[in-house]
Amino acid sequence: MNVPAQEALSDAVVVKRVIDGDTVELESGLRVRYIGMDSPEMAERGVEGCLAEAAQEANNNLVQGKTGRMERDTSDKDRYGRLLRYVWLDTMQINATLVEQGLARAIAYPPDVKYQQELAIAETRAKEGRRGMWGDLCRTAASGDATEEQAVSPALPPVSECTIKGNISNGEKIYHLSGCKSYTKTVITPATGERWFCTEEEARAVGWRKAKDCSN
């Protein structure tokens, strides 16, 4: 995805609080709703959407306390007064990242459709990789067979290109590539905050560093 020209982006903003998988609050007090996508609801009619907590956690890991920039499409605010924006951290668009992780659906809300093709591609990758809501956990949860812990697990074993292991060792967040010596013996435990990544950029953006035993 091409990063927009600087003049299309807002001044730097800092995320103070993550509301859910698609809404954040800035230090200024303004709330921002990510556009072009929709994450599972935290509690709709008393029932939480599958992976709603995982989507919130992933969003929190990506943007909480981080400085980013926002991009407006056509609309400025929704009926709740929230800013409608694409959010960027350097070259990573948060909207598309959550969709590609399978923690949000790509949904067009005309007239704000600038990146809808890219978001649709991100969703296709998530489906092909059976990540997040497209994996077995949500289908199992829908049938009532999943445990609560399984239903909110933020990281599923990769099937496609998301093969980078995000391990937490003695409180330190370390990611392992397939070429790292310790890759094979490293086991990911989502319940402890460990997860899989699709790219090194994604891992670094949320505070992981590369393992020292990697060949490059």
Active-site annotation holder among 33, 125, 131, 195: 33
Instruction: State the catalytic residue, choosing from 17, 25, 41, 72.
Output: 41
CA 156 to CA 64: how far, in whole Å? 22
How many Å apart are CA 216 and CA 213, to the nearest integer? 9
Is there a catalytic annotation at residue 82? yes
Distances in Å between the alpha carbon of 77 and those of 32, 81, 84, 169, 206?
9, 5, 5, 42, 28
What is the distance, to the nearest Å, from the Cα of residue 125 to the centroid of all Cα atoms in its chain? 14
Distances (CA, A) of 203 to 15, 53, 61, 192, 196: 19, 19, 10, 16, 9
Beta bridge mates, 47: 44
Closest CA to 43 of 25, 27, 21: 21
Catalytic position from the list 17, 31, 82, 204: 82
- Could you list the active site residues? 33, 41, 82
